[in-house]
Chains A and B, each alone.
Chain A
Amino acid sequence: RKEVEQDPGPFNVPEGATVAFNCTYSNSASQSFFWYRQDCRKEPKLLMSVYSSGNEDGRFTAQLNRASQYISLLIRDSKLSDSATYLCVVNPRLQGAQKLVFGQGTRLTINP
């Protein structure tokens, strides 16, 4: 079983729709969680960190469910510019080097 699993998609949704992705992780001791965004043929960039209490940044909401070991990302009122691959990322360590584990990514296309 992969340490971090995502549905690779692709997800094709119309502009203005709400879309949600889930991601599961296998290491129950994992400490910190992130969503990164990667545009086609570009480097990944941090979208948002994921906190236990859930957090929101504009149209984006991230949730963490430690009991079920999954992370979610919700995008409301989707824009054409949201088209990208979204990477679920887990840091299994509390201390020491930040050895992130990346999911394979979920590809999202927003259609006009």
Chain B
Amino acid sequence: NAGVTQTPKFQVLKTGQSMTLQCAQDMNHNSMYWYRQDPGMGLRLIYYSASEGTTDKGEVPNGYNVSRLNKREFSLRLESAAPSQTSVYFCASVSVHEQYFGPGTRLTVT
């Protein structure tokens, strides 16, 4: 029972490059979320998926797209990375009472 897994753990991109962050959960939860965490800012919601087949914007969606591939997987895509997207990205799988976070992806955009 792995819980929530994220890949990759670390990534360095050049400005303008694209990449997809992968997230998977084995807890059979309907809802999955993507956050970014920056120093002094707390976690901010990028996108979320309340159930398979649905996605919605969070607080800071600009520059990102998401795909809820199936109940287990929720990916986050950066089409054209910018230095402002340097951050730590957390995926979360959500039950009624708790959010379970993955280990995070540390992304640096140069």
B side interface size, CB within 8 A: 21
Contact indicator per residue, chain B 65-103, by CB within 8 Å of chain A (1) or not (0): 000000000000000000000000010001001110111
B103 to A42, Cβ gap below 8 A?
yes
Q: Knowing A97-B31, A100-B99 touch, does A44 contact B45 (C-beta < 8 A)?
A: no
A-B interface pairs (CB < 8 A), number: 41
A98 to B99, Cβ gap below 8 A?
yes
Q: Which residue of A lies closest to B91 (CB)?
A: A43
Q: Knowing A43-B90, A43-B103 touch, does A99 contact B48 (C-beta < 8 A)?
A: yes
A29 at the B interface (CB under 8 A): no
A: contact size bracket: 10 to 19
B98 to A46, Cβ gap below 8 A?
yes
Chain B residues lying within 8 Å of A42, measured Cβ to Cβ, are 103-104
The CA-CA distance from A87 to B92 in the complex, in Å, is 15
Q: Which residue of A lies closest to B45 (CB)?
A: A99
Chain B residues lying within 8 Å of A105, measured Cβ to Cβ, are 42
B43 at the A interface (CB under 8 A): yes
Chain B residues lying within 8 Å of A87, measured Cβ to Cβ, are 42-43
A43 to B101, Cβ gap below 8 A?
yes
Which B residues, 31 to 49, have Cβ-Cβ distances below 8 Å to chain A?
31, 35, 40-45, 48
Q: Which residue of A lies closest to B43 (CB)?
A: A102
A104 at the B interface (CB under 8 A): yes
Chain B residues lying within 8 Å of A103, measured Cβ to Cβ, are 42
Binding site of B, secondary structure by majority: helix, strand, loop or mixed?
Answer: strand
B50 to A97, Cβ gap below 8 A?
yes
B61 at the A interface (CB under 8 A): no
Chain B residues lying within 8 Å of A46, measured Cβ to Cβ, are 98-99
The CA-CA distance from A103 to B44 in the complex, in Å, is 10
Residue of A43, A44, A96, A99 touching B58 (CB-CB under 8 A): A99
Which A residues, 86 to 110, have Cβ-Cβ distances below 8 Å to chain B?
87, 96-100, 102-105
A104 to B42, Cβ gap below 8 A?
yes
State the 10 A-B residue pairs at the shortest beta-carbon distance, nearest first: A43-B101, A102-B42, A104-B42, A102-B43, A97-B50, A46-B98, A44-B101, A43-B103, A103-B42, A98-B94
